[in-house]
Structures are given as structure tokens and as C-alpha cells.
Amino acid sequence: MPPGVSVIAIDGPAAAGKTAVGRELARALDFAYLDTGIMYRAITWLALNQEISVADTVSLGELARANPLGFLKDDDTKVLVGGLTLGPELRESPVDRNVSEVSKATEVRSELVAQQRGVAAKGNIVMIGRDIGTVVLPDADLKVYLTASPEVRAQRRWQEMQDRGKTVELLTVLSETLARDKTDSSREDSPLKPAIDSWELNTDGLGISQVVQMIIDRAQTL
């Protein structure tokens, strides 16, 4: 890896492969890894647990400020918040259905973006999300925008749910995927879109290791 590459931003729509690719890339480079989506999921879970309306953006912002997030060094699937360690709860249906709405709240985004920048300031990190290259880390050394067809992304998400023992129709997952895309790309604050200087990579038909190697090769050209 070139010495000048210490911050890698990976963005893209739901189920484009960001989590798996980002995690494996970080391991290959011996970098830290942060999936910013888990932060929004944690605030969503807290809001639902405390019966705060996801439409109440002021209260959501106060909730985010009052509950700074912590991370486990050896388990990036969990997050520390409000004295709790949350993991599987963050992938349950109620959170899935509401996280986009919470993510739209400017009050929440401003708080979490500040926390994300603080983590990235330490360097040697792979950070994934939907606005990393455009908003959170516009000066990242390498910006990657992963994408895939809606059908492929829905199939991946459906398989994940099957593996967790959840029964759901593939068409339902596809419908939810398209709805999530629309919400994420049309929100006023930090909409989902490629950064002007990002490298767009379609992951249809590609395995995780293939995508990771392609990103490493790309970094070698910088």
C-alpha cells in the first residue's frame, strides 16, 4: 500500500457489498474498520426502545448527542451505547424499517459525522457508509463507490436474512431495497451519490476477495 493512502472511504447503496468488502479490505491492510451504518442503527434502536418518534428530529438529535458511541476492538458487528452492547438487535426488522428515516435527520447526522471524523483522524482506516466520500471524509485518500443491480442486492440481503433464520419473500426484500434507495438518494441532507472523484465499481458477479484485490490494485496506482 502506498504510504500516502491511510484513509479509504467506501460508499454505495444497501447490499452493494460494502460491509463484507470493507471488513476484508481492512484486515488485508491491517487497518481499522468502521461501518458507519451501525451508528445510525444504534440510534434507531435507542429511539424505538425509548418510544421516540423517528419523525421527531429534534429529540433524535438530542438522543444522539446524549449517547456517544463506542466500539469493540475485536468485534465490529457490535456497538456500545447508553451503557449497552448492541449487536444482533441492530439487524432486526423494526430497525431495518426505520433506520433510513432516522438517517435523514440533520440533527442526527451532524452529531454522528463529528464522531466519525474523530475516528478517522487517527488514520489507517477503512470507513464505509453512504456519505463518507461526499460529506464525512471528502479528503479521503481513496474513495470507492460500490454498486450492484437492485436484483443482485436484494438477493444478497434475502440470503443474509435466510441465514439468520428469518422467513421473507424475495420480492418483499427487492421492494424494500428499492424503497431504501429512493429514500437515501432523495434526502436533502447528505444524499446517497458518488463523490465526484470516487472510483465506481459494480460488484455484480464478483466475489469479496476479487473486489478487495481490485481496490488494493487501485490504491497502488495512487
- Both 81 and 136 in a single domain? no
Residue 92 DSSP one-character state? S
- Both 77 and 90 in a single domain? yes
Which pLDDT does position 190 carry in this prediction?
87
- Both 73 and 11 in a single domain? no
Which residue, of 57, 90, 123, is where some domain finishes?
123
- Both 117 and 138 in a single domain? no
Using one digit for the tens of pLDDT, what is the confidence trace for 58-80?
Answer: 999 999 999 999 999 889 999 99
| 77 contacts 89 by C-beta, under 8 angstroms | no
Q: State the residue range of the domain holding 51.
A: 36-123
| E strands in 38-104 | 70-72, 75-81, 84-86
Which residue, of 106, 123, 140, is where some domain finishes?
123
**What nine digits make up the cell of 33?**
474498520
- Both 118 and 133 in a single domain? no
Which pLDDT does position 187 carry in this prediction?
85
Using one digit for the tens of pLDDT, what is the confidence trace for 127-166?
Answer: 999 999 999 999 999 999 999 999 999 999 899 889 888 8
- Both 176 and 138 in a single domain? yes
| 16 contacts 146 by C-beta, under 8 angstroms | yes
CA distance 30 to 17: 19
Paired residues of 85 in beta bridges: 80
Which pLDDT does position 1 carry in this prediction?
63
Helix, strand, coil share of the chain (percent; to 5): 50, 15, 30
CA distance 80 to 35: 14
CA distance 168 to 152: 16
- The CATH number of residue 99's host domain is 3.40.50.300
- Both 27 and 54 in a single domain? no
Which pLDDT does position 152 carry in this prediction?
94
What domain count does the chain have?
2
- Both 184 and 221 in a single domain? yes
Instruction: Report pTM.
Output: 0.90
Which residue, of 123, 155, 183, is where some domain finishes?
123
The angle that helices 93-103 and 37-49 make with each other, rounded to 10 degrees, is 110
| Size (the chain), residues | 222
Note down pLDDT in tens along the chain; length 222 residues: 666 789 999 999 988 999 999 999 999 999 999 999 999 999 999 999 999 999 999 999 999 999 999 999 889 999 999 899 999 999 888 998 899 899 989 999 999 999 999 999 999 999 999 999 999 999 999 999 999 999 999 999 899 889 888 889 999 999 989 988 888 888 888 889 999 999 999 999 999 999 999 999 999 988
